[in-house]
Structure formats: C-alpha cells, structure tokens
Amino acid sequence: MQAAIGVPETSGSRRPGLLGWLLMTPMLLWLAAFVIAPTLILLVYSFCQRDDLGQVVYAFTWENYERIFFDPDTGKFGSTYLTVFLRSILYAGLTTVICLVVGYPVAWFIGRAPEGRRNLLLTLVMIPFWTSFLIRTYAWITILSTNGLLNSFLVDYTRLIAEPFEMLYTPGAVVLGLVYSYLPFLILPVYGSVEKLDNSLVEAAFDLGAGPVRAFQKVILPLTQPGIVAGILLVFIPSLGMFAITQLMGGGTEPTIGEVIQNQFLQARDWPFGAALGMTIVLLFAVVFWCTSRRQNALEN
Amino acid sequence: MKTTRLLVALALLVTALPTYGQAKKKQVLNLFCWSEYVPQSVIDGFTKETGIKVNVENYASNEEMLSKLLAGGSNYDLVQPSEYTVEALIKVDKLEPLNFEAIPNIKNIDPKYMKLPFDPEGKYSVPWMVGTVGIVVNTAKVKTPITGYKDVFDGTHKRRIVVLNDAREIVTWALATVGVSANDLTPENLEKAKPILANWLPQVKVYDSDSPKTALLNGDVDLGIVWSGEAAILWKKNKKFTYVLPAEGAHQFIDSLAIPKGAPNKENAEKFINYILKPEVSVLVSEDFPYTNPNAEAVKLLKPEQRANPASYPTGEPKLETFKDIGKAAKDIDVLVTDLKAAKKKK
Amino acid sequence: MTAAPSAPSRFRLPSGMALVNALCAGWSGLVFLFLYIPIILLVVYSFNKSEMSVEWGGFTFEWYEKLWNNGPLIEAAKNSLIIAACTTVLAVILGTIGAWLLYRYKFPALRSLSTLVFIPMVIPEVIMGVSLLIFFAVISAPLNEWLATFTELEFQRGFLTVIIAHTTFCFPFVLVAVQARLFGVDPHLEEAAMDLGAPPIKAFWLVMVPYLLPAIISSALMSFTLSMDEYIVTVFVNGPQSQTLPQKVFGLAKKGLDPSLNALSTVFVVATAAAVVLADRVRKLNR
C-alpha cells in the first residue's frame, strides 16, 4: 500500500501533452515565485554573515551551520541547538501519537456516519478552530491555572483536594495544548480514507471468520493507511515548529526549535543563523521525503 | 450550480485585489507602532481635527519593526522605537531629523527626558512614554521584604516567579548584581553573568513579555520582574501588588516617536507628534497605559490616584539606566540564555 | 443520466462491528466535549460582568456593545474573512488541479515536484514570513516602475501579499488530501466518461470532481481555518490597510484580554453554526 504523499500511481503513466503542461503552468509558476525563490534567498542568507543590526552581509561562511551541529567550546559534535531540536521532536512525536489514538476513532465514527451527517460532523470538528488560537489558549489557561476553573471546582466546590493543583506551566499542559490544536489535522485526512472504505471488503473479512481486532489489523488499517500517514505528517511537522503553546501554556522554560528560530529574527538579530536553522529543518524533511517516496517507487516496481 | 459558485468565488477574488491600490489620493499617515500602544481615541481625535486618515500597522517587538523597516518595500511615516532602537536607526541613518518648527508643543516635554545618550542632540525622536523594569510583589503571598534581584532569587520563591522573556533584560539584571552596567556587554562580563543566571533561571516558572500580569493574577506566581505598565495595571486592580525598583539598578526605557527616512507624509507625521504632545491628548494615553508620562503638562492633569501609582510614578532616588544599542552582542546574549535554558535538567 | 457509476456498496453495519462502532461513537462524544470545553467557556464568559477574572460577576451584554463599537477589531475580522475566503478558493483550485495532473500524467522530475509542494508545509512560519518579506521587497521596486507606466495601481504589502502567502501554505494541504483520495480510484471512471464522448475537461468536471468532493471539502475547511488563524507569516507580509484578526487579537492580549474578545469568538461560533445548519437545510431541499 502506498503512502498518501509520494509519487502517485498514475493511471496510464501518460506523458503530458500540451494541455497537461498548460494546466500545470499556474501551479509551476506559483511554486517558482513563492516557494523556490524565497527558499533560495534564505539558502543564500544561511551562508552569510551578519552586521551589527543583524542584517546580512554577503560574505561566505560555514559558521552558521557549524554552530548548529558542533559545540563552539569543545568542537565536538552535539550542541545546544541539537538538544533543543531533539526535545521539539520528542514533543511533536508524543503529540502525534496521542492525536492518532484519540483521533482515529473519531474519524472512523464520522466516516461511517450516514452520508448526510458527515459534512455536518466534520464542520463541528472545525468550528472551535474558527475562534482565534490565542483566545482558545487563554481559555485553557483560565481553566487550568492555579486560581482557575478546574482548581476552583476541585478545591472549593467538590473539596476533592485541599490545595490547588498546579496544572499550568508543566509539560503536561503543553502536550494538552498541542493535542488540542492539532487534532483536526489528523481527523480530516483519516476521515478521507475511512470514508472511501469499501464496506464489502470489511464484510468479507467478517464472513471469513475474522474478529474485530483481526479485521482491523489486516483489512481496515492497511486500507486507511494513506489517511493515517497524511494525518501523521500534518500533525508532526507543524507541531515541530510551534512555539506559542510552549510559551503560553508551558511558561517558555524549555526552548523549542521554533522559538529559537523566531528569536534569531526578533531578538538576537542574527538573520543568517535563523536562516541556517530553518534551512536545516527544510532540508531534513526534503531528504526524508525524497527517500521514502523513492522506496515507495521501488516497492511498486 | 457549481459554475455559479466558481463565479462568485472569482468575483470575491477580483474585488479584494484593487483594495491595495487605494488611499493614495487623500491625506494619510502611515503609523507603525506597538500593538495597542496608541489609543483609538487619540487616532480618531487626530483625524477629526486634521482630516488626515491614519493607517495603523502594529508590531510586537523592536526587532520586528526593524526587520520590516530595513527590508524596504513599504512606506511608513511614523515609527515607535524603544530607546536603543532609536540609536541603532540613527547609526544607519534611517531616521529623518525632526522639524521642530512644526512641533511647537515639544515644550511640554519634561527636559530630563530629552537629549539622552541614545539621541544626544534630540534631533530625531520625541518621547512617547517612559517606564521601568522592576519587581512586582504579591504582598498577600510574599511576607519577606523584597528590595532587589537578589531577594527575588534567594531560593525561597523557587518556581513562583515570572520574568520577561527577553534575553537582554535578564542578562542586565544579573550584571546589575555585580555592578556591571547594562551597556557594557563584553564577553568577559557575559561570563560573569553565566553562573548567576545558572542559579536564577531554574527558579523561574514563566517567561512572558506579552502579558506577565496574567500569571500573577492567576495565582500561578507570586513575584515578577516586569514592565512598569504591567505592574501599574496590577496595582490598579488590586493594591496587594506592590512595585519595587531593584536596589542594584533598573532599566528605564523610553519609547519614542520617530520618522523613518523617506517617509512620504513627513508633514503629517509632524502634525501627529504635535497633536499628541497636547496635554489633554497625552492624558488619554496615560489612561490606557499607566506608564510614566514624559509630558510635564499632561502629568499636571492626571488624577491623584494615577499619580499615586508606585509603578507609574516611582518615588525615591532609584538607580536607573537606559539601554544603548549593543550591536553584535545581541547574538551573544541570546546564545547565553538559550544555552542555559536548554541545559536545565528537568527538575 | 448519472455520470458516475454506482459508488461502493451501501452502508450496512456488519455484525461484530456494531460494538466497535458504538464505542467509537461514545469516544467521539467525549472528544467533542474536549474540543468544545474552551468554546463553551468563552461563550459563557462573554456574558460575565467581571473582567479578567474567573468569578462570575453577573450577566451583561456590555462586552457585545463594546465589540460593536470597536471599529478596528470588526474591520480586522472582515479582513480576515475576505483573506480566508480568497485563500481557500485559490488553494482549492491550485491543489485540486495539481493533484489531478500529477496523478494523470507522468511529469518529468515528478518527485522533485512533490517535494517542492511539500516545502511550505514543512518550513517554520518565521522563515516563510521573512523569506516572503524579502522577496516582496526585492520585487516591489522594479514591479512598481513597470506598473507606473500604464496604471495608477501600486504594489504594496497588503491584501494581495497576504493572500499569496496564505495560499502558498494552504494549497499543499488540498493537494495532499486530494491525492490521498485519488489513490485506488477506479481508473476506468474517467475513461468510461471519455469513451462516451466527453472531452477530458468535462470528464474531469462531471466525474472526478464529485468523487473528490469529500477531500476537497475537508481540505477547503482546513485551508479556511489555517488562514483565519494565521499570525506569524501574516505579520511579515501584511501592510497597514489589511490588519487581520489574529494580529489585532495578539495586540489586545498584551493589554489584557477583555471579554469583548470572548464576545467576538461567540459571534463567530454562532455565525458558523448557523451557516452550517442553513447549508444543511438547503442541501436537503435540493435533493
């Protein structure tokens, strides 16, 4: 089974005719102007030095990339930035796993709902996200803070605990915030796969004597894999760059890679270094993506 | 059905595009200022009096403003930099000298806020609001006396502290405790700050430059090193939040108005500056943002309660220092603080 | 005559799965509750008399009044809606056509193309914002010179640049979603239509689009949401005349969130819920 993102299985492997190229041109132009050109600019910047104001000085240097990978004092491999990067990956990974576990059943439910209901349910999932991100996060802060609603409920109203429980500004709060923000990004793609699941296949599995667990493992899971993979990517990658939640709900005590990059442009005045950090992330993913799609192609052939 | 939807969508597209060409004929002022730092009442009043339309764009940090200003491609008439940014802009010749003939109300400004080191000739900037960075104490929870940074970080308030998420501020506080000036950020001095901060940072629960008062109000922290405006708002809400200027020395910041080079509507900008220097207008600003008002005439018009606010108008002879532009050292500071924050082991 | 051959077999819950489906339904209920707790809070607190604190101070409409009078905030909301609408339209067009073309034809350097499309989703927002800022700054001078030769219009940071930026990171989502839907599609679907005499574009329109509609709709929803809530990239590419809602809200947050923002959120939620119900009714009428 193929990943959702990757080289598509072409229906006839046709080479594009004039019409094909014509239709493709807008997208190509768009990519060239607004993706390739800015990325190239940044690539150039990442090899530059900075002046007092933090703007780029066109003088070639490796030092930005060196700083990312090597400790400046000892010269060995491993630096603060790698640590920060790893921690961000950890949080993003945890968020993704939780979103998957929490969100898959929801996507299943919506995908198997009667046809008229499905769009309604989907929209219901999205509505909370049409309120502003900041306001939603502050709402959580109101709930979780020491003088907040949850604590008032526990301490004053139900007297379940004596002292307020410190929930905010902890890693748990950060994960909660992240899961809350990215859940729809998992539900939507998985729903896409579930929705087009051919029911007869599932029925066939049962007719052949498989229990629910087996049916899931052997039939449903593989068939919904494109959606799952898309969902994982759509949660993991953005949550890597996210820093607002770690700051607002985690207190900002543990820097994330997103925050560090932000700092380079908005505090440290070191645009070239910021560009280098950004480029590293982009290149990392481009490479991973390139390799996996190559493997998919190899599997096909 | 579907084609009509497409057509409607395209129509939407087309109508949105021409809007970027407007507003070229009327008299306008392109104001680039801190988020919510210029009250709407001031802007409306200005438009009413002069007929000039004000386009407002906001930024959340000096560096953001610098980035957009220096990148080019936009026409700002008025910016609102903090003092060290004014200095940086003067250094790269990005500010227009002000024509004080057009700004007679400049006489209302208290002279002690003009011609400071960041703009020695006073040619390029006019003070908007003055403030300090100091210590807020929730006296309901903290019973011991707090006089300075050392008291805050003496270990008894571990994880009950909020500080600004600003590397330069943090390093400055550490250096103040060993008698080093805020503007003397040599590598040797930064080395001195390292062990101090290694001790201090694990005690901090929240880093927040945007709204540190939230953590204090919510009871998640009891002490904070914050902007005086935040402290003033807290005091207005509840007098239990007192404000202390650290004995070791505090940062006094001056946010100013300045005109970027090449501003298309320079005269309108100067009119605006003159307008806000009027005492009755300046009072409106103080209403919304209880920082220290540098307009001596306006201060006379303030209510007694506003004058009594210890965060807005601190008493005594505090040790204050304004920031100068530190150029390359900005990067070193960020590295220092990031390293320390990241290296902290989970408690 | 219906263009599409009959869809996969009608839904009929097979035995054994009934329990699983019931459990999923229950779980979904809990998840929806989780999603809506802050929203319910916002709605309730928009009527709370006491500012900035958790206690209930009494019922009041004053925050809605304040919101009504807050011109810049409402204008920012309008700007955001316009931008989000345009972005969604553009993203859907680019993404759907792109996905379909990638599926149908074997373009050279196909893998690089897919990787390129992927980049706006991966790139940290600050990086994207800064790079677009520089890009727009670089092209604005020569572009304006050229424009000045025949028109009054001028290229400035504003609606156009924001829409471009938003579309750039939204259309990959559409593309990915539509691609996912295209996998395993019956290739004979289109060929059947074309054998019956329809030209390729009509075949696409009448056959493919209905099939792809769920993916298009869900990714359109996502695009709209992303655009409405986008802050950082917008900060870098925006201009003074088109300040968006997130920009305004961020600024207000520094002063201290006052409940008129809760009122705004409530208005949004109610408006969207109403629109959804309305759309649902209209659809039922059309059947």
Q: What is the mean pLDDT of residues C166-172?
A: 90
Q: What is the mean pLDDT of residues C215-237?
A: 85
pLDDT at A154: 79
pLDDT band at C287 (very low <50, low <70, confident <90, very high): low
Neighbour subunits, A (≥3 Cβ pairs < 8 A): B, C
Neighbour subunits, C (≥3 Cβ pairs < 8 A): A, B
- Of chain C, the percentage scoring pLDDT greater than 70 comes to 85
What are the pLDDT digits (tens) for A148-194? 888 877 777 777 777 777 888 888 899 999 999 899 888 888 887 78
pLDDT at A5: 45
B169 close to B149: Cβ distance less than 8 angstroms = no
pLDDT band at A296 (very low <50, low <70, confident <90, very high): low
pLDDT at B23: 41
Chain C residue with minimum CA distance to A209: C16
**Which residues of chain A lie closer than 8 angstroms to B331, CB-CB?**
50, 54, 268-270, 273
On whether ipTM exceeds 0.90, the answer is: no
pLDDT at A66: 83
Is any Cβ of chain A less than 8 angstroms from the Cβ of C203?
no
Instruction: Supply φ then ψ for residue A98, to 5 degrees.
Output: -65, -45
CB < 8 Å from A in window 62-81 of C: none
Closest in A8, A230, A275 to C182, CB measured: A8
Q: What is the mean pLDDT of residues C199-212?
A: 74
Is any Cβ of chain A less than 8 angstroms from the Cβ of B330?
yes
pLDDT band at C51 (very low <50, low <70, confident <90, very high): low
End-to-end CA distance of chain C: 15
A123 closest CA partner among A187, A78, A173, A172: A187
Task: Output the six-digit token pair for C167.
Answer: 């579309």
pLDDT at A4: 42
Bridge partners of residue B130, in order along the sequence = B254, B292
pLDDT band at A17 (very low <50, low <70, confident <90, very high): confident
Q: What is the mean pLDDT of residues A82-106?
A: 91
pLDDT at C5: 47
Kindly tell me if the per-residue pLDDT of A99 is higher than 90.
Answer: yes
What are the pLDDT digits (tens) for C92-110? 999 988 888 887 777 777 6
- Distance CA(A123)–CA(A126), nearest Å, equals 5
Bridge partners of residue B128, in order along the sequence = none
What is the DSSP code (8-state) at residue B100?
G
Q: What is the mean pLDDT of residues C227-255?
A: 83
Chain C residue with minimum CA distance to B289: C255
Q: Do A268 and B342 touch (CB under 8 A)?
A: no
Q: Do C229 and A132 touch (CB under 8 A)?
A: yes
- Of chain A, the percentage scoring pLDDT greater than 90 comes to 8
Instruction: Supply φ then ψ for residue B199, to 5 degrees.
Output: -80, -40
**Who wins on pLDDT, A213 or B6?**
A213
pLDDT at B338: 87
pLDDT at C82: 93
Task: Give which of B171, B194, B207 to mutate to test A binding, by max A Cβ within 10 Å.
Answer: B207
Residue C195 exposed, middle or buried by CB count within 10 Å (0-12, 13-18, 19+) = exposed
**Which residues of chain C lie closer than 8 angstroms to A227, CB-CB?**
180
Mean pLDDT for each 10-residue chunk of chain B (347 residues)? 51 49 65 86 91 86 83 82 89 88 89 86 90 91 90 89 90 90 87 91 89 86 91 88 90 91 89 91 88 88 85 82 82 86 60
What are the pLDDT digits (tens) for C179-198? 877 776 777 776 776 676 66
Number of B–C residue contacts, CB under 8 Å: 113
CB < 8 Å from B in window 82-111 of A: 83-84, 87
CB < 8 Å from B in window 135-174 of C: 136-138, 140-141, 152-160, 163
Closest in C14, C130, C184 to A203, CB measured: C14
Chain B residue with minimum CA distance to C256: B211
**Who wins on pLDDT, A283 or B73?**
A283
pLDDT at B79: 93
pLDDT at C29: 92
B29 close to B270: Cβ distance less than 8 angstroms = no
Closest in B67, B70, B341 to A254, CB measured: B341
pLDDT at C105: 74
* Alpha-carbon gap: A217 to the closest alpha carbon of chain B (Å): 38
Range from A221-225, C221-225, C254-258 carrying the lowest mean pLDDT: C254-258
**Which residues of chain A lie closer than 8 angstroms to B328, CB-CB?**
50, 52
Range from B197-206, C6-15, C29-38 carrying the lowest mean pLDDT: C6-15
A9 closest CA partner among C188, C97, C179, C95: C179
* Alpha-carbon gap: C154 to the closest alpha carbon of chain B (Å): 5
Coil, strand or helix at B205? strand
pLDDT at C200: 67
pLDDT at C33: 93
pLDDT at B138: 92
Chain A residue with minimum CA distance to B211: A248
| Average pLDDT of the residues of chain C | 80
A129 close to C226: Cβ distance less than 8 angstroms = no
Kindly tell me if the per-residue pLDDT of A98 is higher than 80.
Answer: yes
Q: Do B19 and C253 touch (CB under 8 A)?
A: no
